[in-house]
Amino acid sequence: MLRNFKVLMPASLNEALYVINNIDRPFRFLAGGTDVLVRLKDNPSYAQALIDISKIGELAKIEEHKSTFVIGSGVRHEALLAYAPFIENYNGLIEAVSAIGSPQIRALATVGGNIGNASPAGDSIGPLMAFDAEVELRSQDTNRIVKLEDFFTGPGKTVLKHNEIITKIILPKSDSLKSGWKRLGQRRAVAISKVSVTLALGFAKHSNGSDRVNDVRIALGAVAPTVIRARKAEKFLLENQTLTKAVVKEACRLVAKEARPITDIRSNTEYRSEMCGVLLGDLIEKLACAR
Amino acid sequence: MPNRNFTAENLQLKDNIDICFKLNSRDVKIKVPCTYTLLDILRYELKHTGTKEGCGMGECGACTVIMDGGIVNACLVLATAVSGRDIWTIEGVSAKEDAKPIIDAFVAKTATQCGFCTPGMIMASYYLLSKYKDPTDEQILEGLSGNLCRCTGYAKIVEAVKAAARELNGAKKEARDA
Ligand SMILES: Cc1cc2nc3c(=O)[nH]c(=O)nc-3n(C[C@H](O)[C@H](O)[C@H](O)COP(=O)(O)OP(=O)(O)OC[C@H]3O[C@@H](n4cnc5c(N)ncnc54)[C@H](O)[C@@H]3O)c2cc1C
Ligand code: FES
Ligand code: FES
């Protein structure tokens, strides 16, 4: 049974901002609680106080704007999966989020919690990063927007200040991108990713009528201290434009080199690096053929 | 920011809280330690022991209950988050007419051995069959992916869910034809 922490229940975002500005002890937010409560069970000193933000309605909305979608940090994975525009145009995001935990977990867990937890294996992070998402961070008197790529500083570490909260995830519209996500885990459900790869590709026509790649985004999960973009492989594919067998093979080799995995209980370094290349190859094939 | 908007009550660091929620359509009002989960409240305070505690960490699904219409792990819902919710447990669901074919099918197909996972499996199956009238194998596996069983090997559970779906659809058809 859990013990030794206290709970605060701000009723609005403003109250939450006031609370974190004034609280005098180490705290965690309780959004879905699926990370926090598990951590507290293992390690009772993980937090002395929980700030329950699970019922703050303002944080739980998805809005469509002219060139962006704005996802409240309190949006649950299940709600994100049901949002029609994402089903249509963000296949990589949908694939990743539908693999998180189980139906029971996805009904509780939030997008903001997946980001706030800052695990290099956080499955929604890769696709969001590939789509160039940003997060809005608010304190009682500041408001800043940070690229998701710049938000994480290490496993469990972010640029979030003690008096800030993630309010929104800002997702640029990208109707022209085709995307996909793949992972390797111990098994299909309720498993932490050993390696995950997100790929988003934009295509245009060459002057000679053949297809060329005009936009490439690759994100790698669980193979570095944070989720990362594979910039070298992205650049290589963009420069080569045409997805010949040789080009794809070289991109897979490059991506395996960009990974900086560790060996841990779930897998070892060599396997993880190599699998980045394999998963990227699968995704390129899938996206190029699906057109 | 105007401090008067802050109701002192909810901005105190609390050890215990009063919560109100609906449990199997009855109103419950109770004071519990803030560190209690919904599972603790059900089992230790309300003596509703049909909901099981396996892992206590969201992995096994033995504690599956329905909260506001969706299935969740009761071991991962903290007391503060229970307030105001509509909760259904195996005690309430098993008394429902449309759950009977599911329970009967679990018995008929021997989809239960030690029985520890069974309440959670029934809850997940009940929710699954409320979403899909005639689920595919893929939908059944996905729908039960948060529930572990150490005994049956799952095949019999999947068979039971399919049999229950047939029974439920047949029953509906009979009601329409009559
Ligand atoms: C059985 C099980 C399986 C899982 N499977 C997966 C999986 O396959 N893939 C995966 O990626 N994850 C998985 N997880 C981890 C977890 O479910 C996700 O990371 C989830 O998205 C966390 O969201 P939450 O709302 O529950 O976060 P919480 O536990 O409420 O919070 C997590 C952290 O984020 C911080 N936080 C929450 N909201 C905010 C905010 N608005 N601003 C700033 N910080 C905030 C909290 O302070 C805390 O440190 C699994 C967990 C369990 C228990
Ligand atoms: S006891 Fe809740 S999931 Fe295992
Ligand atoms: S019947 Fe024993 S765990 Fe499922």
The pLDDT value given to residue A208: 79
The CATH class of the A178-289 domain is alpha beta
Is-contact B53 B63, C-beta < 8 A?
A: yes
Interface test with A, best of B3, B7, B35 (most A CBs within 10 A): B35
Q: Is residue B4 part of a domain?
A: no
Average per-residue pLDDT in chain B?
Answer: 92
Same domain, B101 and B145: yes
Is-contact A160 A166, C-beta < 8 A?
A: yes
Please report, rounded to a whole number, the percentage of residues in chain B having pLDDT higher than 90: 87
Q: Is residue B144 part of a domain?
A: yes
The pLDDT value given to residue A266: 67
The partner residue sitting opposite B143, judged by closest CB among A7, A49, A103, is A103
Same domain, B46 and B112: no
Distance in angstroms (rounded) separating the CA atoms of residues B172 and B178? 10
Same domain, B81 and B103: no
The segments of chain A whose pLDDT lies below 50 read none
Q: Tell me the nearest-neighbour CA distance from A239 into chain B, angstroms.
A: 40
Q: Is residue B5 part of a domain?
A: no
Q: What is the per-residue pLDDT across B120-170, written as a single tens digit (0 to 9) for each?
A: 999 999 999 999 999 999 999 999 999 999 999 999 999 999 999 999 998
Same domain, B102 and B173: yes
Same domain, B107 and B75: no
Nearest to B142 by CA among B156, B159, B128: B128
Interface test with A, best of B36, B40, B78 (most A CBs within 10 A): B78
Choosing from B89, B124, B147, the residue where a domain stops is B89
Q: Is residue B113 part of a domain?
A: yes
Same domain, B124 and B168: yes
Q: Where are the domains of chain A?
A: 6-52, 58-172, 178-289
Ligand at minimal distance from the CA of A169 is 1
In the reported structure, the alpha carbon of residue A187 is separated from the centroid of ligand 2 by a whole-number distance in angstroms of 18
Q: Is residue B2 part of a domain?
A: no
Q: What total number of domains does chain B contain? A: 2
Same domain, B73 and B145: no
User: What domain range includes position B50?
Assistant: 16-89
CATH number at residue B126: 1.10.150.120
How does DSSP classify residue B50? T
Same domain, B85 and B152: no
Ligand at minimal distance from the CA of B75 is 2
In the reported structure, the alpha carbon of residue B93 is separated from the centroid of ligand 3 by a whole-number distance in angstroms of 19
Structure tokens given for A58: 């303002």
The pLDDT value given to residue B170: 86
Indicate the CATH number for domain A58-172: 3.30.465.10
The pLDDT value given to residue B3: 45
Tell me how far CA of residue B114 lies from CA of A118, B2, B48, B118, B151, in angstroms: 39, 58, 19, 9, 7
Is-contact B21 B4, C-beta < 8 A?
A: no
β-pair type (B64-67, B86-88): antiparallel
Question: Angle, nearest 10°, between helix axes B118-131 and B155-177?
Answer: 50
CATH number at residue B33: 3.10.20.30
Q: Tell me the nearest-neighbour CA distance from B172 into chain A, angstroms.
A: 27
pTM: 0.95
CA quadruple B2, B4, B5, B8: dihedral sign: positive
Is-contact B145 A189, C-beta < 8 A?
A: yes
Which atom of ligand 1 is nearest to A110's Cα?
25
Q: Is residue B11 part of a domain?
A: no
The partner residue sitting opposite A18, judged by closest CB among B1, B142, B147, is B1
Q: Do A30 and B80 touch (CB under 8 A)?
A: yes
The A-side interface with B (CB below 8 A) comprises: 1-12, 14-15, 18-19, 30, 32-34, 37-38, 41, 49-50, 52, 54-55, 78, 101-105, 107-108, 140, 188-190
Same domain, B120 and B164: yes
Distance in angstroms (rounded) separating the CA atoms of residues A157 and A172? 25
The pLDDT value given to residue A291: 64
Tell me how far CA of residue B22 lies from CA of A159, B70, B85, B87, B88, in angstroms: 40, 14, 6, 6, 8
Q: What is the per-residue pLDDT across B56-88, written as a single tens digit (0 to 9) for each?
A: 999 999 999 999 999 999 999 999 999 999 999
| ipTM of the complex model | 0.93
CA quadruple A64, A66, A72, A75: dihedral sign: positive
Query: Is the shortest distance between the CB of B115 and ligand 2 below 6 Å?
Result: no
Q: Is residue B63 part of a domain?
A: yes
Distance in angstroms (rounded) separating the CA atoms of residues A154 and A226? 5
The pLDDT value given to residue B8: 53
The pLDDT value given to residue B11: 72
Strand order in the sheet with A49-52: A6-8, A49-52, A27-30
Distance in angstroms (rounded) separating the CA atoms of residues B30 and B44? 12
The pLDDT value given to residue A261: 74
Strand order in the sheet with A68-72: A62-64, A68-72, A165-172, A134-138, A143-147
What is the signed CA dihedral for B70, A3, A117, A25, rounded to 10 degrees?
130
The pLDDT value given to residue B4: 43
Q: Is residue B3 part of a domain?
A: no
pLDDT above 50 for B5: no
Q: Which residues of B touch A81 (CB under 8 A)?
A: none
The better pLDDT of the pair A176, B11 is held by: A176
The pLDDT value given to residue B7: 54
Tell me how far CA of residue A197 lies from CA of A86, A115, A239, A279, B62, in angstroms: 19, 17, 21, 6, 32
